[in-house]
Amino acid sequence: RLKFDSRTSRIWKSGRLSSAMEQTFIMIKPDGAQRCLVGEIISRFEKKGFSLRGLKLVSVDSAFAEKHYADLSAKPFFNGLVEYIISGPVVAMVWEGKGVVKTGRTIIGATNPADSAPGTIRGDFAVDIGRNVIHGSDSVESARKEIALWFPEGVVEWQSSLRPWIYE
Ligand code: ADP
């Protein structure tokens, strides 16, 4: 029997800790929304076995985009990046699962689509680094910060009934 502790986000199997759950922040950027890739991208995370905990379509202003990308403020492409992110609505999501931060980055592919393997989202759907369709947190710590920034209202507490078919 699997028991999910929503306070610690851990799965317990027969009283023993089975696997640690993680959450990551995933954003479909304005080009992804404009190019009708929303369903395809959500589908890839769903089919993998990850669980959706938050989802919204939002337009952000430059102050918000600058906050999200604060670590990159010294980069020469920073202003262009902010312009890109505010150029249309984005789909902000929180996905949950075992190792979802690292595996989410693998599903997304390398930052520059020229280097992203076929089969990854950027490898399949993007050409230019400045139009690379999707964002995913690069560490558990940045996921925590990004989820707090994008979902101050919190995420949804629920447990997929597929869990015993995805986790041993
Ligand atoms: P990632 O999104 O893969 O975590 P970074 O955090 O390094 O990559 O960069 C954030 C975003 O900034 C990238 O996804 C991309 O949209 C943009 N970016 C990164 N490097 C460049 C560049 N050299 N020119 C234009 N845009 C860039």
Question: 7-16, 25-34, 108-117: which range is least confident on average?
Answer: 7-16
Q: Is 110 in the pocket of ligand 1 (CB under 6 A)?
A: no
Nearest CA to ligand 1 atom 26: 130
Task: Determine the distance separating the centroid of ligand 1 and the alpha carbon of 72, expressed in angstroms.
Answer: 9
In this predicted complex, what is the ipTM?
Answer: 0.98
**139-155 pLDDT, tens digit each:** 999 999 999 999 999 99
Nearest CA to ligand 1 atom 9: 111
DSSP letters spanning 81-126: HHHHHTSS-EEEEEEEETTHHHHHHHHH--SSTTTSPBTBHHHHH-
Q: Is 119 in the pocket of ligand 1 (CB under 6 A)?
A: no
